[in-house]
A = this chain, B = another copy of it.
Amino acid sequence: MRLGTVARSGSTQAFRQEAGETVYLPVPDVGALLAGGDLSLPGEPGPAPAPEELLTPVLRPGKILCAGLNFHDHAEEVGQEIPEHPTIFAKYANALVGPVDPIAMPEESEKIDWEAELVAVIGTTVRHADAGRARAAIAGYTIMNDVSVRDWQGRTSEWFQGKNFDRTTPVGPVVVTPDEVDPEAGLAVRCTVDGVRHQDSSTDRMIFSAVQLVEYLTRFMTLEPGDLVACGTPAGVGLAKKPRRIWLRDGQEVVTEIEGIGELRNVCTPAEDLLPR
């Protein structure tokens, strides 16, 4: 099953896809669908949405929890030990954009980098989960590009300010339920910039699996429907390129793919050229 959110005549609407059929649902987004607790909610059949109609599936996630340093190949390329505990940082919804929206390139930086990531979307309220309950709390998986403003990220010990520029983080295109995709079995994760493939790894190279991250997070906090858990990026980020670092430039197209889920396709656009939302 695939769940998504579209823009529709000035409003928004969730949809469900199964066995080639699309059903439009009486809720404004996948977040509301998950909060309602009934994924089989009745709706109206309709044509499959065009890619450009798709919005980020959960419009205003309550939490966007991100794991850093969570791929063996990425920890190695940035010269870090394999960590004993997950490294967690936070984003807020203002950072998000949809699967084909422009990435708002801040003029305050020239060191803007890509980070293809798997995202687990939480479907139930959960605290103190064991592995089984953590697995059951994941409603499905989607894709993020955790576009990172490296100079701001490195200003202090806390990465927050490099990870929260408005409209820099595409998420989508849909949420795919766990019966259709199994990250632990290995899903290809790729990031391509203007046709050059920079990241090409697999979700089975994660240090902590999505299930383990959910289990860990619920040791200290309650997760709720619509919360996102981003699982970290593999090797190939611009920061680690040799002999010199590479950064995103205005006008470039970033394609972020995860096998079995789909792709994000976003053009780097000067933030000052974008209309306020």
Please report A residues at the B interface, Cβ cutoff 8 Å.
62-63, 68, 83-95, 106, 108, 127, 149, 152, 155-161, 164-166, 219-222, 224
Query: Does the CB pair A86–B166 fall under 8 Å?
Result: no
Please measure, in the bound complex, the distance between the C-alpha atom of A252 and the C-alpha atom of B116, giving whole angstroms. Answer: 46
Q: For residue A221, which residues in chain B have a CB less than 8 angstroms away from its CB?
A: 92, 94-95, 164-166
Contact of A127 among B63, B68, B156, B166 (CB under 8 A): B166
Q: For residue A91, which residues in chain B have a CB less than 8 angstroms away from its CB?
A: 90
CB closest residue in chain B, given A60:
B62
Q: How far is the CB of A117 from chain B (nearest CB, A)?
A: 16
Please measure, in the bound complex, the distance between the C-alpha atom of A220 and the C-alpha atom of B106, giving whole angstroms. Answer: 8
Please measure, in the bound complex, the distance between the C-alpha atom of A87 and the C-alpha atom of B156, giving whole angstroms. Answer: 6
A62-B92, A92-B63, A158-B159 given; A165·B220 CB < 8 A: yes
Query: Does the CB pair B88–A156 fall under 8 Å?
Result: yes
CB closest residue in chain B, given A106:
B220
A92-B221, A220-B106 given; A87·B164 CB < 8 A: no
CB closest residue in chain B, given A109:
B220
A-B pairs, top 10 by smallest CB distance, nearest first, are: A90-B90, A87-B156, A85-B155, A165-B220, A88-B160, A89-B158, A94-B222, A63-B92, A164-B221, A88-B161
16 sample A-B contacts, Cβ–Cβ < 8 Å, listed by A number: A68-B158, A83-B156, A85-B161, A87-B157, A88-B156, A88-B160, A88-B161, A89-B160, A90-B160, A94-B224, A95-B221, A106-B220, A157-B157, A158-B158, A164-B220, A166-B221
Q: For residue A219, which residues in chain B have a CB less than 8 angstroms away from its CB?
A: 108
Please measure, in the bound complex, the distance between the C-alpha atom of A90 and the C-alpha atom of B161, giving whole angstroms. Answer: 10
